[in-house]
A and B are shown apart, each in its own frame.
Chain A
């Protein structure tokens, strides 16, 4: 059995750590590129959400490299995400790939089933080694997140453009080659060490933008045209609460501490949205408020075209923007989105924030301290 899984940002790193520890063979889907998307476009319903199309491409590329089992997480509503597995199986079948798709639904859909499925993909390892592998994967997930946070903080202030991203891409190359959680943790440590040597302009006043929206489009640079880098290169400090680590903690294995924090965060949204409507719309609103109150200059919502829950959030955001007096922009991405137009919109938004910033500073008669 050779396992593969959807590619979502840096998600593959903790997943790789987990399977390495379990001693299960995996194929990491190649970095998403135009071909990946094209495979999806040719075989998926036009109205399907973008993540479904891209992940089909991931599977096909991995299958061609030898994968025979696909693992993905499930859900049972309210959004259609929970149905990805079913549709994708049919699509792959018609494409002539008869592979196993293992959907890991949350435990309340049937604990027995979940355990059986986990056993199946973990090569029947013992409970003890299973848990040990999990806790290692957790560590990796946290480590990756710390690294990415650092990148976000530094990129906008680096003196030599590109230093940070060079380190990040070297790190990614290396990680794909090593085996085992410990080795991966070493790579993370090394990368952090290198990052600390990057020369920064620590006095630089950066514009701060908070990202909210649908998780896949936030985390996967291919579909968001590497928004973090684009903004970072414009000297913007990007904040994003949505992350690989949060996703792991929320979806894969419940982490009590994280859940509590999550609950507190969601309370923020109370006046605008007070229940889960599916996807991450609730978080979108909660995080937007959190950013507004933390003094960010602006908020960008990003989502795939037709994303049902985010459309509800999109309807709410203008009111929030008015009440909190913070500019909000929504970016909808799909296969037709052109990079040039996208870049222009980002630049215009950043210009607007810059203007707002100087207007505010003048109003107060002196520069506010942001750092």
Chain B
């Protein structure tokens, strides 16, 4: 049986565990092709207008898989960490897909809820296997391998590698430029890792000779430490990671500038961006820019804004950090 996995949303964070698990159970997994204009357009036309860009793209990827697979894997990530959530749309994702896309093959809905404890992780995968008619030793073995694959992926990220390098190892980045100038890009992994939708931001910046850091490079411990001072427990996992990395980069002088890549219509981005921008403006005054993406974003304007930001950063680096570069 061929199982399709949409290359969107949490795919970029969890594909090692999902894909390995399903592969080891003996299924053939097919990942939808990387985002193209066609996939985006399809998603936009299928999904309700008011949804955020990443959810629309997810719809496009699901549509891309129709006809190529026997079932489509739809993750319902309720919670990936005890006491936390991600976003209401992640929870309602299967419902959104089911009700807006017609001619779907059967869906393989993967319910994942660690809100009450990490021990539910294994259970979730067991249930997934049972949905596919499997249980027992083969499942345990597949789960183990899948976990170790996931761990490896996360270790690579934490060692500072760009997720794109891991995702597309064949591409050779010019590692020789060990430039001192580093740019931190804050954003959801599914924006940062989607080269089409992010206008290839990471690669563009790297090609200009800068280092890039992304939130998944920041160690969990640092994230936890940094959000301790927030007057309320941060209960949104992705939000927490973005905020924690932002604070880390502001505090520790690790980056020379910060770009916040947000998507139009994202309720989480808007809150986190607001906090980071205010902290920065009050205290740190690092070069800072927000790039907001929507389905109409054009390459040209994006390019110009990026150039302007980099120029400003360079200029500031030359004359020292005494000027407010905000704006």
Contact = CB atoms under 8 A, between A and B. Distances in A.
Q: Is the interface of B mostly helix, strand, loop or mixed?
A: mixed
B51 interface: yes
A275 B235 CA distance: 18
Contacts of A45: 270-271, 273-274
Contacts of B83: 76
B276 to A, nearest CB: 10
Given A80-B267, A315-B48, A319-B99, A278 B278 contact: no
Contacts, number: 123
A90 B88 contact: no
Contacts of B51: 311, 315
Interface in B5-60: 47-48, 50-52, 55
Nearest to A274: B95
Interface string B277-291: 010001000000000
Nearest to A47: B270
A281 B50 contact: no
B88 A308 contact: yes
A314 B99 CA distance: 10
Contact of B232 (A83, A91, A273): A83
Interface in A89-113: 89-91, 94, 103, 105, 109
**Residue among A47, A85, A315 with the most chain B CB within 10 A?**
A315
A272 B275 contact: no
A91 B270 CA distance: 13
Given A48-B271, A311-B50, A281 B278 contact: no
B265 A306 contact: yes
B242 to A, nearest CB: 13
B150 to A, nearest CB: 23
Interface string A303-325: 00111110111111011000000
Contact of A86 (B48, B87, B231): B231
A342 B268 CA distance: 28
Given A47-B269, A273-B95, A315-B96, A308 B278 contact: no
A306 B78 CA distance: 20
Contact of A311 (B84, B89, B262): B89
B233 A47 contact: no
Contacts of B282: 94
Contacts of B108: none
A314 B50 contact: yes
B51 to A, nearest CB: 5
B231 A89 contact: yes
A76 B264 contact: no
B44 to A, nearest CB: 14
A210 interface: no
A78 interface: yes
A82 interface: yes
Contact of A312 (B88, B230, B275, B278): B88
Given A86-B275, A272-B95, A309 B88 contact: yes
A48 B91 CA distance: 20
Interface string B284-304: 000000000000000000000
Contacts of A90: 274-275, 278
B57 to A, nearest CB: 15
A355 interface: no
Contact of A94 (B48, B85, B233, B278): B278
B198 to A, nearest CB: 18
A332 B99 contact: no
A368 interface: no
Given A77-B85, A306-B50, A86 B95 contact: no
A326 B99 CA distance: 16
B92 A306 contact: no
Contact of A77 (B55, B235, B264, B274): B235
Contacts of B230: 86
B87 A78 contact: yes
B104 interface: no
A87 B274 contact: yes
Contacts of A276: 91
A198 interface: no
Contacts of A332: 50
Contacts of A86: 230-232, 275
30 contacts: A45-B273, A45-B274, A46-B270, A47-B262, A47-B267, A47-B270, A48-B270, A48-B274, A77-B235, A85-B232, A86-B230, A87-B274, A90-B274, A90-B275, A91-B278, A94-B278, A103-B232, A109-B233, A277-B89, A281-B88, A281-B92, A306-B50, A306-B265, A307-B50, A307-B267, A312-B88, A312-B91, A312-B92, A315-B47, A319-B99
Given A85-B232, A311-B96, 15 more contacts: A44-B274, A47-B270, A79-B88, A82-B232, A87-B274, A272-B95, A276-B91, A308-B89, A311-B55, A312-B88, A314-B48, A315-B48, A315-B92, A315-B96, A315-B99
Interface of B: 47-48, 50-52, 55, 78, 83-89, 91-92, 95-96, 99-100, 230-233, 235-236, 262, 264-271, 273-275, 278, 282
Minimum-distance CB pairs A-B, first 6: A312-B92, A47-B270, A278-B88, A78-B85, A77-B85, A277-B91
